[in-house]
Amino acid sequence: MRNDIPLLIASRRETGESGTFEVRDPGDESVAGLCPAASPAQLERAVAAAEAAFARFKDSKHDERRALLHAIADRIEAHAEELAELVTREQGKPLPLARFEVGGAAAWARHAASLDIPETVLEDSEERRIVLCHRPLGVVGSITPWNWPLLIAIWHLVPALRAGNAVVMKPSELTPLSTLRLVELVNEVAPRGLVNSVSGGAEIGSRIAAHEGIRKLVFTGSTATGQAIVHAGAGNLKRLTLELGGNDAAIVLPDADPDAIAEGLFATAFLNMGQTCAALKRLYVPESLHDAIAERLAGIAGRQVLGHGLDSGTTFGPVQNPVQLAKVEALVADARARGGRVLCGGERLARDGYFYPPTIVTHVEDGARLVDEEQFGPVLPLVRYRDLDEAVVRANRSELGLGGSVWGQDIELAERTAARLECGTVWINSHAEVMPHVPFGGAKRSGVGMEFGVEGLLEYTQTQVVHRKK
């Protein structure tokens, strides 16, 4: 494992002026690598470098930007195994899932290259021609989380570049290595200073949020941090794209077939060990199907092989960090105290690493922390319901509204039920399917703005209306 992954500022490699900090491997608690800690002065230099690069790049041709994104995808693919191992060592997910993440990053870059930035003619009369245009914004700041460190970095980076902006990236201090390596690879093909990296803790993140030279900030993470970013960015009225917390509810309809849906329910609830914003977090099940679905989910959970992500045969990795593990433990303890029944799992494994097995909890209701709070870990509560209208009301009671889903055979009923859920994306007979051509964003306190597709791309632009008198 490399211990010399640098910061990239104005396309120059730099060590951290605030020293280094350890990045822990959640699979065995060893040191996965040392990360440079950026100083406030380095952040200032990174923003200045991005501003200078933007002055040159903002007038670039669309084909030049497309070529850059394809070149970035080429670099990712050329270093795919290296990047996947970095992701596994710092994040914990099994290597096949890390390879999926790396492949998704390259594919996302290529899709962004294919997008057109539209110009819309609003009027073309004898008197005037009016065109709605989209111009680049300037320097974009990116703050990424620890659950999908490489893929979410790409989600932030490639639309910014496609729109003609420059970027300053700060990865989570828990999983910075793969993102810093990505920026290093990007700088092999990008214009000087166009993409810069800084790393560190909350102080650097706060400075990015408040920086007057950063015109837009894109952040993926908790609702509480997102709220702080809104306040910090008010000074220069930053454009914001915030993908925040989710406590996604799924409703199983009374006509659902437990055998047909169990694998899909489990896969989307425990995706990345449950550490996915749009994962299924609460499952509302009719009384008539409750026991059958609970039994099948527990059976699937029991077949998982927990282990280090680099070990052959591992299907289920650790929780990423001890703070998140402690929260999962506390939520399950609260559920038990309220009469909840743990069908499988429910205890941290007695071994090195932050391992918590996939856990199914029944006999819990709204009001339990495990139902009301986003667990962001390998635990799924099953909540019984008697009446479908009641289930919809309970699903909508959360202040969060990222995603939701409905599972059943009566598609018309499923579509009517889906339309009643208060969330940014609702799936029918699936969950957590996020695709580069489909806009994605949260309702209520789950976010501001959109990502992906043309709608997400245009969030990185300034709308300009051009009137020409004839």
Q: Are residues 282 and 175 in the same domain?
A: no
Q: What domain range is 457 assigned to?
A: 7-244+446-469
Calpha distance 400→417 (Å, rounded): 18
- Cβ–Cβ under 8 Å, residues 99 and 85: no
**Quick check: helix, strand or coil at residue 360?**
strand
Report yes or no on 440 lying in a domain.
no
Question: Residue 172 in contact with residue 145, Cβ under 8 Å?
Answer: yes
Q: Are 145 and 220 in contact (CB under 8 A)?
A: yes
Which residue from 275, 307, 290, 407 is spatially nearest to 343, judged by alpha carbons? 290
- Is residue 126 within 8 Å of 300, Cβ to Cβ? no
Question: What is the pLDDT averaged over residues 434-463?
Answer: 97
Are 118 and 63 found together in one domain?
yes
- 221 and 262 share one domain: no
Position 338 pLDDT exceeds 70: yes
Let me know whether 177 and 155 are in one domain. yes
The band of 4, judged by pLDDT with boundaries at 50, 70 and 90, is confident
Question: Residue 457 sits in a domain of what CATH number?
Answer: 3.40.605.10
Task: Say whether both 58 and 177 belong to one domain.
Answer: yes
39, 11: one domain: yes
* 3-class DSSP state of 101: helix
CA gap 415, 227 in Å, rounded = 33
**269 shares its domain with 376:** yes
Tell me what pLDDT residue 71 has.
Answer: 98
Residue 381 lies in a domain: yes
Residue 3's pLDDT is what? 72
> Tell me: the pLDDT tens digits for 267-303?
999 999 999 999 999 999 999 999 999 999 999 999 9
CATH code assigned at 422: 3.40.309.10
| Residue 1 pLDDT level (bands cut at 50, 70, 90) | low
How many domains are contained in the chain? Answer: 2
pLDDT at 253 over 70: yes
Digit-coded pLDDT (tens) for 168-209: 999 999 999 999 999 999 999 999 999 999 999 999 999 999
Q: Are residues 222 and 281 in the same domain?
A: no
Does 260 share its domain with 170?
A: no
133 in catalytic set: no
- pLDDT (tens digit, 9 = 90+) per residue, 31-55? 999 999 999 999 999 999 999 999 9
pLDDT band at 11 (very low <50, low <70, confident <90, very high): very high
Does some domain include residue 2? no
Residue 441 belongs to some domain of the structure: no
Report d(CA 131, CA 18) in Å as an integer: 49
Percent of the chain exceeding pLDDT 90 equals 98
* CA dist., res. 260 & res. 255, Å (int): 11
Residues 6+ apart with CB under 8 A from 133: 119, 463, 464, 465, 466
**48 and 181 housed in the same domain:** yes
Q: Which residues fall within 8 angstroms of residue 176, CB to CB, at 6 or more apart?
A: 23, 35, 90, 149, 199
In a domain, 228, yes or no: yes
Let me know if residue 206 belongs to a domain: yes
Q: Is 300 helix (H, G, I), strand (E, B) or coil?
A: helix
Contacts with 6 (C-beta within 8 Å, 6 or more apart), sequence order: 13, 14, 15, 36, 180, 184
Question: Can 423 be counted among the known catalytic residues?
Answer: no
> What per-residue confidence (pLDDT) applies to 466?
97
Count of alpha carbons within 13 angstroms of residue 234, beta-carbon side:
6
DSSP SS3 for 140:
strand
Q: Is residue 415 part of a domain?
A: yes
In a domain, 277, yes or no: yes
Q: pLDDT tens digits, residue range 409-429? A: 999 999 999 999 999 999 999
* Selected catalytic residue, list 85, 277, 374, 423: 277
Query: In this structure, are 199 and 158 located in the same domain?
Result: yes
| Cα(316)–Cα(301) distance, integer angstroms | 10
Shared domain for 191 and 284, answered yes or no, is no
Q: Which of 90, 243, 374, 459 is catalytic?
A: 243
pLDDT in tens, 371-402: 999 999 999 999 999 999 999 999 999 999 99
3-class secondary-structure state, position 442 = coil
Helix then strand count (H, E) for the chain reads 15, 22
